[in-house]
Amino acid sequence: MKLAHRLLLQSLAIVAVMVISVVLIIDNQLHNNITERTTHDLAGEARLLALQWKPGVNADSLADNAGAATGHRITLIDGAGHVVGDSDFDGAALLRLENHSSRPEVASALASGMGSSKRMSPSTGEEQLYVAIKSSQGVVRLSVTTKAIARVFAGARQGVIVAGVMSFLLATILAALFARAVSKPITDLRDIARSIAAGGPATQSVSSAPGEIRELADAINWLARELQAKLNALEAEQTRLKRLENVRRDFVANVSHELRTPLTVVSGFAETLKDPDIPTERRTEFAQTILSNAQRMQRIVDELLDLTRIESGNWQPRQQPVDVGEVAREVFARASSAAQAKRVCLTTRIAQGATIVWADRTALEQILFNLVENAIRHTTDGSVSVEASDGDGATTLKVVDAGGGIAEEHLPRIFERFYRVEPGRSRDTGGTGLGLSIVKHLAEAHGGTVCATSVVGQGTSIIVRLPNKGPAQPVTTSLQRE
Ligand SMILES: Nc1ncnc2c1ncn2[C@@H]1O[C@H](COP(=O)(O)OP(=O)(O)OP(=O)(O)O)[C@@H](O)[C@H]1O
Ligand SMILES: [Mg+2]
């Protein structure tokens, strides 16, 4: 059954019980009041009559006249209990009436001045209300049938019942309005909950809900928003996990791909070397090829291990003041033969405030070496310079070359692992595609950043920004390979 209907029925049941109780109470009181009122009126009339019943007055004709005037039965009884006048009995009938002194109302009137009683009249055979008043001549008694009282009572009761029915109807209308007002916000809430369960919006408002229902609605809305937020977070987490899984898969594919070529070369040439008829000079050449491919694999594995160590947080930079110029000179010394081979001139441009950088020395050397090596690799007959400047709480290191540059669409990706603009050419020149990725991770481990600008045909600048003085980091392991 609908909530509104249940509320309406329950309210109506309460109202009905109340209306019936009120009607019963009023009915009872009305009955008592009417009896009391009649008794009082009869007593008043009896007193008036008592004043008229003087010595020498014919009691029976007084009773007849007063009875005709008031419409009540009037009985005049002398002090000894004999009926001396009665509006309903005359002559012989009057004389036959028995002594009334034992009648309860007469007895109490004689004793205390007034008495009343309700009983069957032996004279008329109907139930009567008797009221008796003591007078100087005896007792004046008036009576009326209870049927007459019942008629008055029935008239009054009708009014009470009409009022009861009217108030019940009015209460029904009010209860219907009340049931609607209470059930509407609750059905609204139910609709909201259903909408949420169906994945719909939770922001639907509850129509003019009062007090606790408003609070309940707010609580449900809050719950729904929380749920939505949690779902969103879960979805984001799932997306992140999927991305991670893709990264992992790509990584495994990339590593296998990178190792496959040198492995094939190594096993191929080793196979060939098994042939005893190969001339010595060819033998040396093959051995050299095997060695260089093994070294290439060694380099890939070493660089991957470096990356993993930095990424996992196992390695932390041992930050200290480092002379940039000195590190640049050492890097140039390591790269000098390659630079000479390509007729590349190596220079430094270090601003006065930037001679010292707050960095891990080994890491800084690796950063600069990777960048200078790349720059030389992509430059012929030009210059490569290491520049350092200071500002905004950081030292900016730039490796600028006058090489072929990098097309715009590749720029955002060159820091990814194994990403190469020209994979074949890079591999031929010994590149693994991990250098810039290592640079990026090292810079970030220092709390720094790295970015690249390039113009095709003019050259490239790789810019590393390291904060001037990072927080002292606990040293765990060194990046230097054993
Ligand atoms: N100075 C530069 N000028 C032009 N292209 C560059 C320069 N530096 C890097 N690149 C491009 O970015 C790619 C990624 O560089 P990265 O240093 O990561 O790899 P790599 O040089 O190929 O190999 P590795 O440095 O690991 O031996 C290079 O393959 C190259 O195509
Ligand atoms: Mg490189």
Domains, the chain, ordered by start: 3-151 (3.30.450.20), 210-314 (1.10.287.130), 317-467 (3.30.565.10)
CA–centroid distance, residue 423 to ligand 1 (Å): 10
Q: What sign does the CA torsion over 274, 278, 284, 289 have?
A: negative
Neighbours of 208 (CB within 10 A): 11
Residue nearest to atom 5 of ligand 1 (CA): 406
Q: Which residue has the tokens 């009665």?
A: 86
Among 415, 422, 345, 418, which residue's Cα sits nearest to residue 386?
A: 345
Among 416, 303, 429, 422, which residue's Cα sits nearest to residue 377?
A: 429
Q: Which ligand places an atom closest to the C-alpha of 412?
A: 1
CA–centroid distance, residue 376 to ligand 1 (Å): 10
Cα separation, 151 vs 168, whole angstroms: 26
CA–centroid distance, residue 435 to ligand 1 (Å): 7
Please tell me the total number of residues recorded for the chain in this structure.
482
Q: Which ligand places an atom closest to the C-alpha of 384?
A: 1
What residues contact residue 86 under an 8 Å CB cut-off, 6+ apart? 60, 63, 73, 74, 75, 76, 94, 97
Cα separation, 129 vs 21, whole angstroms: 28
Type and span of the H or E element at 323:
strand 320-323
* Digitized pLDDT (tens) for each residue of the chain, 482 residues in all: 788 888 889 989 998 999 899 889 988 998 899 999 999 999 999 999 999 999 999 999 999 999 999 999 999 999 999 999 999 888 888 888 889 999 999 999 999 999 999 999 877 788 999 999 999 999 999 999 999 888 888 988 898 889 989 999 999 999 999 888 888 878 887 887 887 777 766 555 665 666 777 788 788 878 888 888 999 999 999 999 998 999 889 889 989 988 998 999 999 999 999 999 999 889 999 999 999 999 999 999 999 999 999 988 888 999 999 999 999 999 999 999 999 999 999 999 999 989 999 999 999 999 999 999 999 999 999 999 999 999 889 999 999 999 999 999 999 999 999 898 887 776 777 778 899 999 999 999 999 999 999 999 999 999 999 998 744 444 445 555 54
Q: Is 420 in the pocket of ligand 1 (CB under 6 A)?
A: yes
Backbone angles phi, psi at 321, to 5 degrees: -70, 125
- How far, rounded to the nearest angstrom, does the alpha carbon of residue 113 sit from its chain's CA centroid? 82
